[in-house]
Amino acid sequence: MEHAGRALADRVRNVVGNDGSIAVVCGKGNNGGDGLVAARFLHGWGFRTTVYLTVERDELGSEPLACLQATERVGVPVSSISTPVALDATSFTAHAWLVDAILGTGLSGGACGHAARVIDRINASRRPALACDVPSGLDATTGQVAGPCIRARETLTIGFPKIGLLLYPGADYVGRLSTADIGFPRQAIDAASVSLWQVERSDAAARLPVRRKNAHKGDFGRVLLVAGSSGMAGAAALTSEAALRAGAGLVTLATPRAVVGSLASRLTEVMVASLPDTPDGCVSPEAVPSIRARAKSADVLAIGPGLSASDGARATMANLAADWSTLPTRMVIDADGLNHLAAIGATSLPAGAVLTPHPGEMARLCRTTVDAVEKDRIGIARSLSAECGAVVVLKGVPTVIAAPNGLAYLNPTGNPGMATAGSGDVLTGLIAGFSGQGLDPVDASILGVYLHGLAGDLAAATLGASLLAGDILSHVPSAMRALTTG
């Protein structure tokens, strides 16, 4: 508690500077104890600090009570706001900053009773708040907000980020998130068998393929894409170019005959191959032998972008799924490919497969609703990955990368401007390109997702919130450079 409180005080000092007085609002548990320790340090450093207790003294646990007594001994003013009358007589607006140490990680369900009234008053004061560990009212495990919740400008989480700080809607209440290392022993961390990780820049950078000076294009993988149809040729183009930008040595786009001409003239660095098609310009089941033949020389197969919802495309996918053994073990399935998998009920995939559904596609694959997917993004991604034996990249905020062994990763990059047609096609190409260079499916997915989001962030910094998928693609080289240069 001393370490956590000192770290909290340090963060307040760094954020606040000399900007007026500080109110530390404390509840009865360990979170309140952290706040009391912080108040003692802030007072000692010369800050005008006031403690507000939301409970009666006799409701405090033994450790928070000891912290309160130590805080009072050094002369920190302590005011009780444990009743509605006392709360109504308190003006939080007299302080420059508020420190939220009311409710911690133990909250189950929403804030209620007097704690909820205090939270409402803090939010109504419009004073900037710095939350200790989690904003009070937020479920630290699920990110759900079932009642009043502190809208923090800053959150200092203790030890490690809590899952609920990274999931929506809770992430909207966190503000800028930082983490305090308070000295948890390495043995204790290892014993916890952590199975959920947030990807950091160094994690992505460590996965970037390294090119030898005497390398040639054959060293960087042969990618076969099965994509496109009349009216959706752009998806195939974006995926193809993204695979090349990821560093793939050779990219072949197999696409319906109807769109070969337009794509061949646009994609000067991609080999474009014609597939038998239906009268409406979609891939025909007659294309299956050609796909299997071309797959023999490919290191990775990506299938789905712009393939269409046609019966011909569905029959093609069903025929391919009937025997995965003649296709590359590394594959990326996206968009219409996923919808057809859901329709035909394919549940077993090669060990090197990656699925990249958005929530709607995920709902179809899992026979559930989008709302159910969004309420348990991590759990449902893990469940599908275990069921089908493939890596699952559940797109959204945050994107979840789930491996069949139960490990999962949350991606921090990206922005709302990336919610645009074609953005997912770029991601498919990146993952396929990295997979073709020999990265295992998990590493290819982690790197592809992080780089995709970083490219979008760089694009938004230059172009604003309204992005095109091509803007993301054009910023991939800059994102790669940023990974290696910091």
- Is the preceding peptide bond at 276 cis, omega within 30 degrees of 0? no
Q: To which residue do tokens 């990974």 refer?
A: 483
The model carries a pTM of: 0.92
Calculate what percentage of the chain has a pLDDT beyond 70: 100
2-194: CATH class: alpha beta
- Name the CATH superfamily housing domain 201-485: Ribokinase (3.40.1190.20)
Question: What's at 304, amino acid-wise?
Answer: G
pLDDT tops 80 at residue 346: no
At residue 486, the pLDDT reads: 67
What are 23-56's pLDDT values in tens digits? 999 999 999 999 999 999 999 999 999 999 999 9
User: In what order do the strands lie in the sheet containing 154-158?
Assistant: 78-80, 49-53, 22-26, 97-101, 129-132, 154-158, 176-180
> Which two tokens mark 108?
């189950």
Give the C-alpha separation, 198 to 400, whole Å.
Answer: 10
Domain boundaries, the chain: 2-194, 201-485
Give the C-alpha separation, 56 to 97, whole Å.
Answer: 23
- DSSP lists the bridge partners of residue 132 as 156
- DSSP lists the bridge partners of residue 155 as 131, 177
Give the C-alpha separation, 127 to 138, whole Å.
Answer: 19
Average pLDDT, the chain: 95
What are 393-438's pLDDT values in tens digits? 999 999 999 999 999 999 999 999 999 999 999 999 999 999 999 9
Rounded mean pLDDT, 367-373: 96
> Which two tokens mark 96?
């420059």
For 352, the 3-state DSSP assignment is strand
At residue 20, the pLDDT reads: 77
Calculate what percentage of the chain has a pLDDT beyond 90: 91
Nearest to 441 by CA among 305, 316, 301: 301
Higher pLDDT, 472 or 20: 472
Q: Contact, 443 vs 434, CB < 8 A?
A: yes
The CB density around residue 297, as the number of other CB atoms within 10 Å, is: 11
Domain pair 2-194 / 201-485, same fold: no
pLDDT tops 90 at residue 18: no
Give the C-alpha separation, 49 to 36, whole Å.
Answer: 11
